[in-house]
């Protein structure tokens, strides 16, 4: 028999979707070279696991794509990869302490490759992201556009995912104990940081 999600868990997933959408909106509006669209996905990967992180990422991309950034729809595979691999890295203990750099690299490299393929071959290297400026600067210096997109994606994705993990770790440490008790997620940041 499948265990159904509690109201608190559904609410946490909705919060993850909102974090993705708001982060993406801020990054897009300010033309930041990072994306901030996976904070919620990473949050859910660490709290509920990969399956719900994938759902959060897909729904976040869908909402962003339908409201302010059509490009988000094309990058859904990136959210799927982020949620899946981040959840696995968390469960293996690679998102805490000194291992955090390796853990973030483990899920940012595949997402970088996916992002670069989508950006280079679907959009010719120019998307709504602020990282497109980096690609254009590299092109002006004679760097092949595809190579420029791949280089930019690797650098910006790692930075973006690392910042997201740090934000998630800090935010979860602020969650009140009574909420932690109601959620009771095994091996979550909440359990590790709050008791």
| CATH code at 9-185 | 1.10.1760.20
Question: Would you state the pLDDT for residue 188?
Answer: 57
Q: What is the dihedral of CA 9, 10, 13, 19, to 10 degrees?
A: -110
Tell whether the model's pLDDT for residue 29 goes beyond 60: yes
pLDDT at 183: 66
What dihedral angle (degrees, nearest 10) is formed by the CA atoms of 82, 85, 91, 92?
-130
Report the SS3 class of residue 32: coil
Global pTM reads 0.89
Counts of helices then strands in the chain (DSSP H, E):
11, 0
Give 85-131 pLDDT, tens digit per residue. Answer: 999 999 999 998 899 999 999 999 999 999 989 988 888 877 888 88
SS3 124: coil
Question: What does pLDDT average to over the chain?
Answer: 89
For residues 186 and 156, the model is more confident at 156
Q: Residue ranges of the domains in the chain? A: 9-185
Please give the Cα distance from 128 to 117 (Å, whole number).
15
pLDDT at 65 over 50: yes
pLDDT in tens, 152-170: 999 999 999 999 999 999 9
DSSP state of 120: I
Better-predicted residue by pLDDT, 125 or 12: 12
Mean pLDDT in residue range 145-157: 92
């Amino acid at each position: 028999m499948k265990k159904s999600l509690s109201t608190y868990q559904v609410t946490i997933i909705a919060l993850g979707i909102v974090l993705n959408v708001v982060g993406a909106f801020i990054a897009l509006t300010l033309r930041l070279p990072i994306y901030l669209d996976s904070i919620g996905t990473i949050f859910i990967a660490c709290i509920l696991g990969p399956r719900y992180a994938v759902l959060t990422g897909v729904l976040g991309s869908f909402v962003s794509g339908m409201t302010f950034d059509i490009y988000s729809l094309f990058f859904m595979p990136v959210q799927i990869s982020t949620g899946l691999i981040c959840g696995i890295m968390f469960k293996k203990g690679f998102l805490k302490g000194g291992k955090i750099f390796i853990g973030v690299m483990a899920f940012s490299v595949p997402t970088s490759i996916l992002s670069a393929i989508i950006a280079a071959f679907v959009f010719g290297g120019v998307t709504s992201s602020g990282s497109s400026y980096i690609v254009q600067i590299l092109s002006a210096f004679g760097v092949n556009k595809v190579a420029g997109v791949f280089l930019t994606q690797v650098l910006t994705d790692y930075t973006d995912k690392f910042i997201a993990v740090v934000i998630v770790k800090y935010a979860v440490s602020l969650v009140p104990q009574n909420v932690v008790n109601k959620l009771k997620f095994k091996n979550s940041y909440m359990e590790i940081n709050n008791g």
